């Protein structure tokens, strides 16, 4: 049994990307999925001056936790067409502990937004950055118009076509485990 660590790069308590990550994780069979709340690993905005004092313990703990995984599911929200400052900051700090902090392990990248594009700009941005952190992207999925295509009460994608696309991405990811 493989251990998959799943999280969304959001500091919102009502993150729709977190909901998508949880749904995707529920589709994984015969493996353990552990969900992280990155808010528990919060750190000040990266600065070389702060780094001279030391990397925050929360980030050291996060990198140690990530090292326990065999694979990752990462949801990336979008702010102004790119990664959230929160996710970018977390990545910046994690890379100071271990440059290749994803360890060459498989990654399923997800994104969603209420816009029709589904945060695809952020998804593409993160996908392009994965090589720097040794994340092996196995599959990607973007869900546009979240509020129209996701049943919050049931915690599932309600649009059959989109549900099928996510199941295909999860299947591709599982092949890499």
pLDDT, one tens digit per residue, over 38-95 is 999 999 999 999 999 999 999 999 999 999 999 999 999 999 999 999 999 999 999 9
Q: Residue 81: which CATH number?
A: 3.40.50.360
Q: How many CB atoms lie within 10 A of CB 15?
A: 22
If you average pLDDT over every residue of the chain, what do you get? 97
Q: Give residue 59's pLDDT.
A: 98
Over residues 102-119, mean pLDDT: 97
Q: Is the pTM above the cut of 0.85?
A: yes
Q: Give residue 89's pLDDT.
A: 98
Helix (H) or strand (E) holding 65: helix 57-67
- DSSP letter (8 states) at residue 108: E
What percent of the chain lies above the pLDDT cut of 70?
100
Task: Please give the residue range of the domain that contains residue 11.
Answer: 3-175
Please state, in angstroms and rounded to a whole number, the distance separating the CA atoms of residues 33 and 157: 19
Q: How many domains does the chain have?
A: 1
Question: Per the structure block, which two tokens stand in for 120?
Answer: 């695809």
Please state, in angstroms and rounded to a whole number, the distance separating the CA atoms of residues 174 and 177: 5
**pLDDT bracket for residue 164 (50, 70, 90):** very high
Q: Give residue 10's pLDDT.
A: 97
Please state, in angstroms and rounded to a whole number, the distance separating the CA atoms of residues 95 and 97: 5
Q: Give residue 14's pLDDT.
A: 96
């Amino acid at each position: 049994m493989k251990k998959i660590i799943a999280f969304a790069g959001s500091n919102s308590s009502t993150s729709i990307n977190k909901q998508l990550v949880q749904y995707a994780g529920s589709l994984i069979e015969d493996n353990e999925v552990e969900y992280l709340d990155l808010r528990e690993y919060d750190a000040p905005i990266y600065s070389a001056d702060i780094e001279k004092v030391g990397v925050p313990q929360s980030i050291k703990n996060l990198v140690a936790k990530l090292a326990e995984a065999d694979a990752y599911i990462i949801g990336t929200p979008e702010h102004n067409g790119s990664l959230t400052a929160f996710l970018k900051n977390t990545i910046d700090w994690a890379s100071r502990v271990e440059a290749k902090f994803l360890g060459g392990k498989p990654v399923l990248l997800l994104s969603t937004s209420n816009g029709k594009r589904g945060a695809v700009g952020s998804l593409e941005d993160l996908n392009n950055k994965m090589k720097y952190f040794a994340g092996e992207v196995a599959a990607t999925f973007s869900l546009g118009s979240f509020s129209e295509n996701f049943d919050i009460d049931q915690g599932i994608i309600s649009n059959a076509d989109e549900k099928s696309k996510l199941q295909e991405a999860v299947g591709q990811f599982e092949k890499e485990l």
